[in-house]
Amino acid sequence: MRSLEGQLHRCAINTATLGHREPLAKTLDRIARAGFGGVAPWRREVEAIGAAAAARHLRALGLTVTGYCRSAYLATCDEAERRANMSANIKALDDAAELGAQCFVLVVGGAHGVKGGLVGARSQVHDGVAELYLEARKRGVPLAIEPLHPTYASDRSVVNTIRQALALCESVAPGDNAMLGLAIDVYHCWWDPDLASSIALAGQAGRILGYHVCDWLADTQDRLMDRGMMGDGVVDLPGFRHLIELAGYRGMVEVEIFSEQRWWKVAPDEVLSVCADRLQSAC
Amino acid sequence: MRSLEGQLHRCAINTATLGHREPLAKTLDRIARAGFGGVAPWRREVEAIGAAAAARHLRALGLTVTGYCRSAYLATCDEAERRANMSANIKALDDAAELGAQCFVLVVGGAHGVKGGLVGARSQVHDGVAELYLEARKRGVPLAIEPLHPTYASDRSVVNTIRQALALCESVAPGDNAMLGLAIDVYHCWWDPDLASSIALAGQAGRILGYHVCDWLADTQDRLMDRGMMGDGVVDLPGFRHLIELAGYRGMVEVEIFSEQRWWKVAPDEVLSVCADRLQSAC
């Protein structure tokens, strides 16, 4: 496995890592100046300046867009919410196409409040991915389903393992790995007893569209907002990347850290500097 | 599926549900008086009065011991800790035998601090279960591995799914389902996309030794101490019990709720009353 030392051009920063504290243009400048090759911006940042302006800025800086974050939920409480979310997602696909994003990241929604609970939500998600897939194909923007940690099954995502996401891909778009795949995040998947075989299967299917890193802190304080910097937690990050690359993934390594109490209070350039160090020493 | 209405003799209370606020004798009296047929006490409660005294009290009240809680961790930081925990577990097996417990519940320990991380911890757990199984057999006390929610993979258990626990049973004690099986808790397993098939497999193997209920709250505030009362959360409890009974489980339904901020502040008899209601109306 290649080390990431001197390979920051193969690494990307998800803008959530900086806490969304500044306008996108400023954030992109910092990321490019720090030597990273890619970025994953969020909808609200892009929409604030318009996708065309964001795309011009990205091209000028030579940054690859590893993913566009993220879908409105596909599992919803009622039909009105479902339609509103689908519209928002189709608009986001237009923007993702303009940005040249390598994928549009799908966070599918949780079971709470959905008719039929977990089972109903999973059924809605299947139908929602199928509908969005047709729109994504028209625009040439791959969809990347991100399985979230099981702790989010109620409130954020009823797709909770790599294998489950893979089955969903095969059901909705059998054979079309160019347009429907997975974003695999170590935070969500590191615990999985089937991790090695699941990643291998995803790789054989050619469906690994993104790879996200951070760390799981041993004394994690919050289900959402306390992700760790790479190397500060319990995840075997080199081992995980070995599996991902063995499975054929050649894309970027994207850092995504939600950390309200720690890293979002540190100056953005300092966060980027630590990310660069840790990508090269702990991933 | 039989309703639990009028079936409190088929239901048990894990004493953690009452917050360990009173001596065991008082807790047992309350549980028996409320009409429950079983109880799952914790080591510290039993050790405080001695297993012989606890056993006499249990027999006098006619309470079944659905499980004895719980093992010291099998994944440890060093050899000294491993030996200390194994001794504590063997002592607990003696006590479990004296109590006539239907099983000794194994919570196996997390990856944090263990040499080799997640992989090393799982290897230690395998060896630890194998060693403890020999001791359990001598004493006639079945071991019930409890898969814990993946959120605990770092700090409490590297066994996180039913299927993983089942594979561990088959590896350590192939064919011996009388002495090694699973305690299945809805809180830990409800999200599993393979839930139905996993429970069916566990049932076919004859390895379901315990069934625990509570609920996953939609707005859960704490990874450990904010479990919900049955009916207050998102879990399809009747659906879950249907799977468990379809798989052949005929044991008791045990309520186990850790709830520092809510139920542990409510008077014990009131908690038991609500448990009784919800077992009969929401499970």
The pLDDT profile of chain A, 283 residues, written as one tens digit per residue, is: 778 999 999 999 999 999 999 999 999 999 999 999 999 999 999 999 999 999 999 999 999 999 999 999 999 999 999 999 999 999 999 999 999 999 999 999 999 999 999 999 999 999 999 999 999 999 999 999 999 999 999 999 999 999 999 999 999 999 999 999 999 999 999 999 999 999 999 999 999 999 999 999 999 999 999 999 999 999 999 999 999 999 999 999 999 999 999 999 999 999 999 999 999 999 9
d(CA B110, CA A154): 24
What is the arithmetic mean of pLDDT over B18-40?
98
For residue A1, the model assigns a pLDDT of: 74
Q: Residue B41 pLDDT more than 90?
A: yes
Does the CB of B121 have a partner CB in chain A at under 8 Å? no
pLDDT digit string (tens) for B93-143? 999 999 999 999 999 999 999 999 999 999 999 999 999 999 999 999 999
Q: Residue B1 pLDDT more than 80?
A: no
Interchain CB distance below 8 Å, A149 and B151? yes
- List the single best residue of B77, B114, B154 to mutate versus A (max A Cβ within 10 A): B154
Interchain CB distance below 8 Å, A154 and B218? yes
Candidates A193, A184, A186; CA nearest to A229 is A186
Nearest to B223 among A113, A122, A223 (CB): A223
Q: Residue B277 pLDDT more than 90?
A: yes
| Other beta carbons within 10 Å of B134 | 11
Nearest to B191 among A160, A220, A239 (CB): A160
For residue B267, the model assigns a pLDDT of: 98
For residue B248, the model assigns a pLDDT of: 98
d(CA A280, CA B275): 53
Query: What is this model's ipTM?
Result: 0.96
CA atoms within 13 A on the CB side of B161: 20
The beta-carbon contacts of A163-170 under 8 Å, at least 24 apart in sequence, are A163/A194, A163/A198, A163/A201, A163/B193, A164/B193, A166/A198, A166/A201, A166/A202, A166/A205, A166/A207, A168/A125, A168/A126, A168/A129, A169/A145, A169/A205, A169/A207, A170/A205
Query: In which band, very low, low, confident or very high, does the pLDDT at B64 lie, cut at 50, 70 and 90?
Result: very high
| Other beta carbons within 10 Å of A126 | 18
Distance (Å) from the C-alpha of residue A58 to the closest C-alpha of chain B? 37
Interchain CB distance below 8 Å, A149 and B150? yes
d(CA A186, CA A188): 5
Does the CB of B81 have a partner CB in chain A at under 8 Å? no
Distance (Å) from the C-alpha of residue A183 to the closest C-alpha of chain B? 18
Cβ atoms of B244 and B199 within 8 Å: the answer is yes
Please report the sign of the dihedral spanned by the C-alpha atoms of residue A56, residue A59, residue A60, residue A64. Answer: positive
- Which residues of B are less than 8 Å from A217 in CB distance? 154
Distance (Å) from the C-alpha of residue B282 to the closest C-alpha of chain A? 15
0.95 surpassed by pTM: yes
Query: In which band, very low, low, confident or very high, does the pLDDT at B212 lie, cut at 50, 70 and 90?
Result: very high
Distance (Å) from the C-alpha of residue A137 to the closest C-alpha of chain B? 27
CA distances from A283 to A15, A90, B153, B265 (A): 19, 35, 20, 45
Q: What are phi and psi of A95, to 5 degrees?
A: -65, -40
Architecture of domain A8-282: Alpha-Beta Barrel (3.20)
Interchain CB distance below 8 Å, A160 and B193? yes
